[in-house]
Amino acid sequence: MRNVAVVISSTRPSRFADKPAKWVVDRLQSEDDVDVDLIDLRDHPLPPFDQAVSPAYAQRDYSTPEVARFGERIDRADAFVILAAEYNHGYTGALKNAMDHTFVEWQHKPVSFVGWGGVGGARAIEQLRLVSVEFEMAPLRHAVHILPDLMLPAMQAPEPFDPALFAALDDKLDKLVADLLWWTEALASARAYA
Ligand SMILES: Cc1cc2nc3c(=O)[nH]c(=O)nc-3n(C[C@H](O)[C@H](O)[C@H](O)COP(=O)(O)O)c2cc1C
């Protein structure tokens, strides 16, 4: 059984992120042999990173119990889908701060991206790909971009949210999942022999 973490990168009370989160989690849960861990950064309010040594070197020397709880959760994952809100042409500060508290917990694991916004979160996702390489992750090609044609109707849809509103992107999500699970197996095997 592989653990795939779906990371919600935005924390605003009125966030859109919960809609793609439901769609992506439902899709992953339809896979055999996959445990899905929905990691909501709202549940991990971390202090601004202020340690003397980068976690790349300090390695799980957590500064607070809350940082330890977050780091241990990232450690348990075999792969990630980052749900990427785009703020001012970048990804969210909450996600950057959380990632800066950790390092080896993400290392040698694949990561895929689902974004939304005016250009489907493309600029945030491209930045996250660069940062993922620094974390020695494997950022994958098959992202899903939710553009305004689907985002705006989804924003106005009644609750509970019906993920069928993203059905036009189901093929793209299928491709993302297939590719992510291939890399999940490949890198889990490689880590086992490292
Ligand atoms: C501070 C801020 C900056 C934003 N900047 C962008 C942007 O650069 N590009 C974009 O497509 N949307 C931008 N938006 C609109 C977001 O795409 C939209 O609010 C989206 O719902 C954000 O995700 P969230 O609701 O999960 O926080 C911005 C929104 C906020 C709150």
User: Total structural domains in the chain?
Assistant: 1
pLDDT, residue 194, reads: 75
Span from the CA of 91 to the centroid of ligand 1 (angstroms)? 9
Give the pTM.
0.98
- The 8-class DSSP code of residue 48 comes to P
Nearest atom of ligand 1 to the alpha carbon of 83: 26
pLDDT, residue 119, reads: 98
Nearest atom of ligand 1 to the alpha carbon of 16: 25
pLDDT, residue 133, reads: 98
Cis peptide before 65 (omega within 30 of 0): no
List, for the chain, all residue ranges whose pLDDT scores fall below the cut of 50: none
Span from the CA of 190 to the centroid of ligand 1 (angstroms)? 37
CATH code of 171's domain? 3.40.50.360
Tell me the residue range of the domain where 96 lies.
2-193
Distance of CA 162 to the CA centre of its chain: 21
